[in-house]
Amino acid sequence: MAVSTAVAGGPKPSRRNIIAESSAESSAAVSPADSPRPSPSSTSLSSLSEMDMEPKPASYGKLIDTYGNEFSPPDYTIKDIRDAIPKHCFERSAFKGYLYILRDIVYLSTTFAIFYNFNTPEYVSNVYVRGALWAVYTFLQGLFGTGLWVIAHECGHGAFSDSRLVNDITGWVLHSSLLVPYFSWQISHSKHHKATGNMERDMVFVPRTREQHASRLGKLVHELSELAEDAPAYTLTILIGQQLIGWPSYLVNNVTGHNFHEKQREGRGKGKRNGFGGGVNHFDPRSPLYEAKDAKLIALSDLGLILAGSALYFLGNKFGWSNMAVWYFLPYLWVNHWLVAITFLQHTDPTLPHYHTEEWNFVRGAAATIDRECGFIGRHLLHGIVETHVLHHYVSSIPFYNADEASDAIRPVMGKHYRSDTENGFFGFLAAMYKSARMCQWVEPSAEATGQGKHILFFRNKNGLGTKPAKIAAQ
């Protein structure tokens, strides 16, 4: 089995990572923020510790993940995590961050110059070879563009610089150039960090419950364990659709985010729902993803997109839209692919639990993530965003160039609750997408869960893979 749960004293493969944080509070309920800088939503470490790990009587029954491993909730505190991290890991350097930005821009501009000047009939006479080389170009530019996206995401978490103004200006410019609404996504992403793994409040890749999955198939709940398995081609089709339109669908319709907008405390969630026409998106200041105080930031995000779109329109008219499709828009699709793949695999794995609010806390949610390995591409070109995601959910303000050391420091604290899947590097990362899509179709309580354990959910599937769905009597 490729997935490992590292224990204290075991081997510690090197790793590192990132993702964004804002000072905005959750619109549902307040949960811990991990930023070291003062903010309206920050909480003291002592109160975090008490909030996260308030003693509860252990009445869970037998909890089993999709692989058949027995599970127990984490028993350490956020203070234990932070105390284990060397203090210098929290230090941020805008100068070092700008050097990485410069490096990525050099990669982008050099690649463009080489292909623009030399992938021409004068040097490459065969049209099919030229086409293949341009395909390579789009792939490379997608990777380099994702690298810039990741640094902008660091800015959103305050991990780029000690100055919030520097973080926001840098992140706004970088994300806008990649058609990402910087502040809008920063705010919703902060809420994801504050509610990771919470079935009612998480903001991304919230899995369907057994009831929701049965309804989607037009079946009864008890029938899921009896249905024929999905064809592999069907799984691949779903994955391709997810990778092509998953990111824009999330921005426009909040696809994969929670759908409990009625709980928005200002009342703007009433009658709002995910999907087309539901009023939940990342562009409208009235969206239930935000609060009234966020309106100016949402407008500023939209302004960034308007400016970027205007520049692209000018370039398309000047150089031709077919050229712009190859130079910018196909690499843009590659960037979207990497964002969706990375996020999907950070939060979807047969070992990972999800929680109803009754049993969720910040420590448990942050542990419901997994580190993966993407080789040179992940560690160098993508600034380690794949490799240290678990740390990132505990302390997202640590810059990516310090994340390897910080990850090494927290693994002994997490013990058996630390999860990683590092087998076969980049190709293992790609294979994990298919495996997770086949094995992780919905979540439900373990068959032998009792009491509070029924609020802790695990992935199941109708493909006969791993732990079987619970047998439910027909009613």
Tokens of residue 116, six digits: 């623009």
Phi–psi pair at 68, nearest 5 degrees: 95, 5
Phi–psi pair at 460, nearest 5 degrees: -140, 170
How much is the pLDDT for 475?
64
Tokens of residue 347, six digits: 């939060």
Whether 363 has a pLDDT exceeding 90, the answer reads: yes
CA distances to 130, 393, 474 from 122, rounded to whole Å, are 11, 51, 71
Model pLDDT for residues 295-304, shown as the tens digit of each residue: 999 999 999 9
CB atoms under 10 Å from CB of 77, counted, come to: 21
Mean pLDDT confidence for 242-263: 94
How much is the pLDDT for 265?
86
Share of the chain above pLDDT 70, in %: 88
Is the pTM higher than 0.75? The answer reads yes
Contact present, 202 and 393 (Cβ < 8 Å) = no
DSSP string, 181-233: -HHHHHHHHHHHHHTTTBTTT--S-PPPBHHHHHHHHT--GGGTTTSPPPPHH
d(CA 23, CA 191): 10
Sequence-distant (6+) residues with CB within 8 A of 280 are 253, 254, 257, 261, 272, 273, 274, 287, 288, 289
3-class state of residue 160 by DSSP: coil
Tokens of residue 41, six digits: 């939503």
Mean pLDDT confidence for 384-399: 97
How much is the pLDDT for 57?
53
CB atoms under 10 Å from CB of 227, counted, come to: 13
d(CA 193, CA 42): 13
pLDDT confidence of 47, banded at 50, 70, 90?
very low
d(CA 83, CA 80): 5
d(CA 385, CA 378): 7
Partners of 444 in the beta sheet?
458
d(CA 109, CA 111): 5
Burial classification of residue 208, based on how many CB atoms lie within 10 Å of its CB (0-12 exposed, 13-18 middle, 19 or more buried): middle
Model pLDDT for residues 191-241, shown as the tens digit of each residue: 999 999 999 999 999 999 999 999 999 999 988 988 889 999 999 999 999
Burial classification of residue 30, based on how many CB atoms lie within 10 Å of its CB (0-12 exposed, 13-18 middle, 19 or more buried): middle
Share of the chain above pLDDT 90, in %: 83
CB atoms under 10 Å from CB of 50, counted, come to: 13
Model pLDDT for residues 117-173, shown as the tens digit of each residue: 999 999 999 999 999 999 999 999 999 999 999 999 999 999 999 999 999 999 999
- The overall average pLDDT reported for the chain is 89
Sequence-distant (6+) residues with CB within 8 A of 187 are 22, 24, 289, 290, 294, 297
The upper half-sphere exposure of residue 205, i.e. CA atoms within 13 Å in the direction of its Cβ, equals: 27
Whether 36 has a pLDDT exceeding 60, the answer reads: no
408 vs 263, residue with greater confidence = 408
Q: From the CA atom positions of the chain, what is the Rg in Å?
A: 22
d(CA 107, CA 110): 5
Tokens of residue 428, six digits: 């293992």
Whether 431 has a pLDDT exceeding 50, the answer reads: yes
Contact present, 421 and 3 (Cβ < 8 Å) = yes
Q: Let me know how long the chain is.
A: 475
Mean pLDDT confidence for 337-357: 97
